[in-house]
Amino acid sequence: MNRTIANIIIDIIAAFLFLGMIATGYILRFPLPPGSNKTLSLWGYTRHQWGDVHFWISLGLLVVLVVHLVLHWNWIVTVIGKRCHLLKTAHPSLVRSGILTGGIVVLSIALFAWTAQNSVKEIARPMRGKHRVAHTDQVDGSSVAAKQGSTGQQSVGFWKDVYPIFESNCLSCHGPQKQLANFRVDRSEDFFGSNGRDPLILPKQSSISPLIAIVSGTRKDMPMADIHKLSDRDVALLKAWIDLGAETDD
């Protein structure tokens, strides 16, 4: 194939991939912002799936740029060599310079990957009060009832049993980073009424607490009602906690 035609094809492919990166970057920033993976989709793809598309487009653009450099390697080596006074001959070794440049690029990429991988840190959990202990996944309705005990004393703990439910199901949309409906599950005042809004929890009255109607799926007159529905186990724990007074400190 004629080199001029090859260059034109490579440039066209690079342009389309560059536009693809801009388009997917826009999607990840605006239509599907951070925290929307569980609630929104665009053309059948969630935010995480569009992130995969963005990654593969960027990888394809990198490959195309490498091919572009290979096709122009003679010109690149000659120009840089003359500018930096590195050429000692009119015919520089393209293989030697290519190996040297490739080694530097590979080493730089490996160093970046290693640095990024070892610089990841866990974000501190947005808890108030005591740190919660591990949450067991083997709690059902009968064990929740057993937690209450015959003495009526509280044995369903907020940080131990209740907050993990909010953390795994609600925090991404109602937390420090994103507050849909101006509501946060990591602020107790939002549950018990604040800023003139009606409370979602009525202590010792789970049967008429709006929160239970929302998470049990019986309330349908709200946006994305089905997404707010929790498992029977989680609903039973929330009911038990509310009926015991809805205390937020163990």
CA distance 210 to 99: 68
Question: What is the reported pLDDT for 191?
Answer: 86
The owner of tokens 């809004």 is: 197
Q: How many C-beta neighbours within 10 Å does residue 201 have?
A: 21
pLDDT tens digit string along 172-220? 888 877 778 888 888 888 888 766 778 889 989 999 999 999 999 888 8
Residue 86: pLDDT band with limits 50, 70, 90: low
Residue 78 in this model has a pLDDT that exceeds 90: no
Torsion of CA 26, 27, 28, 30, to 10 degrees: 80
- The stretches of the chain forming alpha helices (DSSP H) are 3-29, 47-71, 73-83, 94-118, 141-148, 163-169, 188-191, 210-215, 232-243
Distances (CA, A) of 174 to 89, 125, 135, 238: 66, 14, 21, 17
Question: What is the reported pLDDT for 135?
Answer: 41
Question: What is the reported pLDDT for 250?
Answer: 45
pLDDT tens digit string along 1-38? 677 888 889 999 999 999 999 999 999 988 888 777 76
